[in-house]
Amino acid sequence: MREKLKAGYYLLLDALGRDAWLLERIKREKLLVVLNLHQVSPHENPFWPPLHPKIFDGLLEFLKAHFEIVLFGDPQATKNEKPLAILSFDDGYHNFVEYAVPLLEKHGVRANMNIIPACVESGQPVWNVQLYDFLKAAPRALIDEITFPGIDLRLKNERYESKVHYGLGISRFLKNRPRNERCELWKGLERIMQRHEFSFTRMMNRQEVLQISESNDVGAHSYSHESMEFEDNSFFENDLAKCHEYFREQLNLPLETYAFPNGSFRSEQVAILENNGIRNILIVGEDFSRPNNSIFSRFTIYGSSIGEVKYQALGINKKS
């Protein structure tokens, strides 16, 4: 019922001409639309719903009709009156190779992919995705053994909705802590996770990153995906140095694009990036950008219908 109501809402917006009004505003103000995506897959995941390939296909069809899809290196290269859009993926999930790349090739467009080098090398996703993978498979009795000081959050029942609420609560609690503190808390959780057999979400390996780099732009999503506003500048500078080293020695690629993990950063870290050769600095922001910027806000793209993601791309969720 909820999905039908949402679909009806976006159809009503179409009937009222809201899509044409938003598109005209983007054209008139010469705004750059940067879309932030993560996973494209037909396999549902209640913790982090991927964009279904059919919806991604429809989004690309819409964008191709109304925008010129470019990369961060060439937003000035437009040769027509269409506004500019950039597709920006974070994390480096394997389903980008499996489902997104064929659709990008079908439509003749390219994307920016920001990888996490530590995940590329380990083959494992970041810690919170590991947590979601565990919660999706684990029995309640094992989950009930999880405790953290300072948080009173318990699993209400074994329904997926309860597991999602519980998992997101733990994730928020751990994200808002410096790495050293979180790692100590994670050790206890990891011991519980090791007592149940489950599979991790698959990440791209180094060869696959090199493969996609032939047609797409590759940037960094930090080296190990920490919430940088909680880390001191020396940690941030060291993490950035490791990214530069990885791109230089393992990928033989320039590092010009950096996406802050979890939308978490401080202003002085932006200056550190600029002073270390990063030309394109990506935040979330839920706002439009400008073609001549070096800091780019992005619109988060998710949803269960083409209408929903179309309006996200047009900035309907823009922060005022």
The pLDDT, as a whole number, for residue 313 is 97
Rg (CA), the chain: 20
**Could you tell me which of 172, 174, 175, 195 has the C-alpha nearest to residue 185?**
174
Tokens of 211: 């493969």
The pLDDT, as a whole number, for residue 80 is 64
Percent of the chain at pLDDT above 70? Answer: 98
The pLDDT, as a whole number, for residue 76 is 61
| CA–CA gap between residue 237 and residue 137 (Å, rounded) | 37
On the question of pLDDT at 291 being above 60, the answer is: yes
Q: Which residues partner with 280 through β-bridges?
A: 257
The pLDDT, as a whole number, for residue 77 is 57
| CA–CA gap between residue 178 and residue 266 (Å, rounded) | 14
On the question of pLDDT at 158 being above 80, the answer is: no
Residues for the chain: how many in total?
A: 320
Percent of the chain at pLDDT above 90? Answer: 79
| CA–CA gap between residue 35 and residue 128 (Å, rounded) | 22
Question: Is residue 13 within 8 Å of 65, Cβ to Cβ?
Answer: no
Beta strands in 171-288 (DSSP E): 217-220, 257-259, 280-285
Give the per-residue SS3 of 163-176: HHHHHHHHHHHHHC
HSE-CB for 55 with a 13 A CA cutoff: 22
- β-pairing, 217-220 vs 112-115, is parallel
The pLDDT, as a whole number, for residue 240 is 98
DSSP helix/strand/coil, 244: helix
Could you tell me which residue, 76 or 315, shows the higher pLDDT? 315
The pLDDT, as a whole number, for residue 74 is 80
The pLDDT, as a whole number, for residue 78 is 59
Please, what is the Cα angle at 182 between 204 and 283, to 5 degrees?
55
Q: What is the mean pLDDT of residues 214-242?
A: 96
In one letter, which amino acid is 22?
L
Say which range, 122-136, 163-177, 271-285, has the weakest mean pLDDT: 163-177
The pLDDT, as a whole number, for residue 193 is 96
pTM over 0.85: yes
Report residue 114's pLDDT band, with 50, 70 and 90 as the boundaries.
Answer: very high
The pLDDT, as a whole number, for residue 290 is 92
Question: Is residue 86 within 8 Å of 35, Cβ to Cβ?
Answer: yes
